[in-house]
């Protein structure tokens, strides 16, 4: 019997005493005493001080990365604010005017294009058309855009792959 009483006292001292002292300490500090939370028995509140929720910490960062990438891509080719699809639409219209069946070229334009008396009409027309298109490209700085923007397009391609990865990560977080 003595052994049983000793065993009970030991169990109580190990299990119950710390709970009593924590409750007593909380009461002394003026803190409310909290019962242990258990799932499916009472409402659970996500409290950052008691638990770290990985989804709550990683999801906002993932969303931020996706929105930043989308913003960067929207700026994309238009990094200097002066280049967009309208540049090519205008260039297309000007090129079409150079290639129009109604387009005529003066003798001075033929000389400027490098036509020779020994050229066939087709050879001279090829030179004239190239000359006209080249002049249009020079005036509209399309050449400069075509020198610079393929690199930008390559950079955007890399960013698109990154965005795809970030969106997949975001999707995996949402499940």
Give the model confidence (pLDDT) of 69-99 as tens digits: 777 777 765 655 555 566 666 777 777 888 8
Q: How confident is the model at residue 139 (pLDDT cuts 50, 70, 90)?
A: low
pTM of the model: 0.45
Give the model confidence (pLDDT) of 22-73 as tens digits: 444 444 555 555 667 666 666 666 564 555 556 666 767 777 877 777 777 7
| Of residues 169, 162, 172, the one with CA closest to residue 70 | 162
What's the pLDDT score for residue 129? 87
- Per DSSP, the residues of 116-137 read -TTS-HHHHHHHHHHHHHHHHH
């Amino acid at each position: 019997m003595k052994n049983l009483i000793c065993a009970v006292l030991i169990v109580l001292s190990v299990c119950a005493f710390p709970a009593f002292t924590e409750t007593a300490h909380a009461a002394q500090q003026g803190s409310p005493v909290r019962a242990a939370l258990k799932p499916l028995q009472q409402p659970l509140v996500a409290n950052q001080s008691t638990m770290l929720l990985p989804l709550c910490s990683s999801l906002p960062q993932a969303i931020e990365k996706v929105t930043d990438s989308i913003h960067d891509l929207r700026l994309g080719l238009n990094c200097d604010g002066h280049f967009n699809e309208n540049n090519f639409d205008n260039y297309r219209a000007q090129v079409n005017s150079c290639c129009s069946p109604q387009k005529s070229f003066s003798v001075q334009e033929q000389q400027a294009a490098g036509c020779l008396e020994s050229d066939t009409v087709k050879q001279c027309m090829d030179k004239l058309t190239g000359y006209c298109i080249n002049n249009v490209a020079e005036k509209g700085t399309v050449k400069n855009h075509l020198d610079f923007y393929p690199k930008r397009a390559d950079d955007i391609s890399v960013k698109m792959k990154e965005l795809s990865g970030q969106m997949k990560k975001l999707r995996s977080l949402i499940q």
